[in-house]
Amino acid sequence: MASQLLNGAAVAEEIKRGVAARVKELEPRGIKPGLAAVIVGDDPASKVYVGSKVKTCQSLGLHSEKYELSAQTTTRELLALVEHLNQRDDIDGILVQLPLPKQIETRRILEAVDPAKDVDGFHAINVGRLVRGEESLVACTPAGIIELLDHYQIPIEGSHAVVVGRSDIVGKPMSMLLLHRNATVTICHSRTRNLPEVARQADILVAAIGRAAMITGDFVREGAVVIDVGMNKATTAGEINRIFPDSDLPKRMEDLGKRGYTLVGDVEPRTVAERASWLTPVPGGVGPLTIAMLMKNTLRAAEMRRG
C-alpha cells in the first residue's frame, strides 16, 4: 500500500496563522517582535534561505532586518554586530545564517548571541536546557517535526524512533525531543554498523543525513512513519527515474528542464512509499516547518523577554 503524505506545508501555514494572530494581539501593547538575520558572504543557498525568512516575517507582521556582510568579515566585526543586536530592545531574535566563512570562529559567534534571543536554539545554554528537559528555545527543524507528528496524532510515546544523523542542528536536538516525549531513541551516523537493519526497527524513522535518496525501501519497516529532513539536488534524468515514482516523474523532469535540478531528500520515495505508512514529501515537508518554527520562536522570545 502506498504511504500517505505528511503535509508539512499545510501545518506550517497553520503555525504561521497562529503567529500572525498573536502578533496582532501584541500590537496594542506596543510590542512588535523583531528578527535580525545576519548573512556573511555570497553563498547563493544561504541568500535564498535568509530572503525567505525575512519575507515570511514581513507577511506575518513581525519586524525584520537583514544584515549582509562581506565574505572578508572578521570574527571581531561579526561579534561587534551581534553585541549591538543583543543590546537592542526592539530585536527579539538574532539569526546568524550558517555556514560562516572559514576565517570566522562559528562557535564563538553562536555563543555570543544572547540566549534569550537565540531563535535558532544553537547556544550552549539553550542546548543544555533542552537536554535537561527545561523550557528553552529549541532548534527550528526538529521542533517543527514534533509539531508535524502531533498534528497527525502520530504516537511518539513508547515508539522506537531511529534518527539517522547526529548534527547539532538536526540529529541531536531531534533525538532529545523524541526522548522527552518518551520514545525509545536510537541515534545513527556514518559509523553505525548495519544501518538498514537498525533503521528497520524504527516506528518513526528520521533521516537527516544530506545524501540524496540514501534511505531506500529496505531501510524501512512496513508501516513505519518516515520523516525526510534532507535537501539535496538530483541533476540527471537517470537519477530522477531511479528515485521518484512514475506518477511524480513529469513534474520532476519539468524541474530538471527549467532549473537543471529537482529537490530530493535523503529518502528514496519510489521504494519507501511502498512500505511507510506516512512519509514527508520533499519539497513541502520539513522545509516549510523550519521557517514557521523560526517565526514561532521569534514570537516566543519576544513574549519571554518582554513579559
* Active site residue ranges: 53, 97, 120
Residue 286 within binding range of ligand NDP, rule CB under 6 A: yes
CA 138 from chain center: how many Å? Answer: 11
Answer for which of 164, 227, 240, 273 binds ligand NDP (CB under 6 A) is 164
Q: Nearest 5 degrees, angle CA 298-CA 302-CA 303?
A: 115
Answer for which of 32, 211, 242, 306 binds ligand NDP (CB under 6 A) is 211
Q: Strand pairing partners for 64?
A: 35
Query: How far apart are CB 165 and ligand NDP at their closest, in Å?
Result: 4
Residue 287 within binding range of ligand NDP, rule CB under 6 A: yes
Query: How far apart are CB 208 and ligand NDP at their closest, in Å?
Result: 4
CA 199 from chain center: how many Å? Answer: 21
Kindly tell me which of 217 and 303 has the beta carbon lying closer to ligand NDP.
217
Residue 231 within binding range of ligand NDP, rule CB under 6 A: yes
Kindly tell me which of 208 and 220 has the beta carbon lying closer to ligand NDP.
208
Query: How far apart are CB 205 and ligand NDP at their closest, in Å?
Result: 12
Query: How far apart are CB 89 and ligand NDP at their closest, in Å?
Result: 30
Kindly tell me which of 221 and 305 has the beta carbon lying closer to ligand NDP.
221
Kindly tell me which of 192 and 235 has the beta carbon lying closer to ligand NDP.
192
Residue 73 C-beta-side C-alpha neighbours within 13 Å: 24
3-state secondary structure of 212: coil
Question: For ligand NDP, which residue has the nearest CB?
Answer: 167
Is residue 276 within 8 A of residue 220, CB to CB? The reply is yes
Q: What x-and-dash track marks residues 166-205 binding ligand NDP by CB under 6 A?
A: xx-xxx----------------xxxxx--x----------
The x, y and z cell numbers of residue 2, run together, are 502506498
Q: What x-and-dash track marks residues 74-93 binding ligand NDP by CB under 6 A?
A: --------------------
DSSP strands (E only) in the chain: 4-5, 34-40, 63-69, 93-96, 160-164, 184-188, 204-207, 225-228, 232-234, 262-264, 278-279
Kindly tell me which of 115 and 144 has the beta carbon lying closer to ligand NDP.
144
109-128 positions binding ligand NDP, by CB under 6 A? none
Query: How far apart are CB 34 and ligand NDP at their closest, in Å?
Result: 22
Q: Strand pairing partners for 184?
A: 160
The x, y and z cell numbers of residue 74, run together, are 572578521
Query: How far apart are CB 166 and ligand NDP at their closest, in Å?
Result: 4
Name the one residue in this structure whose C-alpha cell is 562559528. 106
Q: Nearest 5 degrees, angle CA 195-CA 200-CA 203?
A: 125
Give CA–CA dist 66/44, Å, rounded.
Answer: 15
Q: Which residues contact 249 (CB under 8 A, 6 or more apart)?
A: 240, 241
Positions in the binding site for ligand NDP (CB under 6 A) = 141, 164-167, 169-171, 188-192, 195, 208-211, 229-232, 286-287, 290
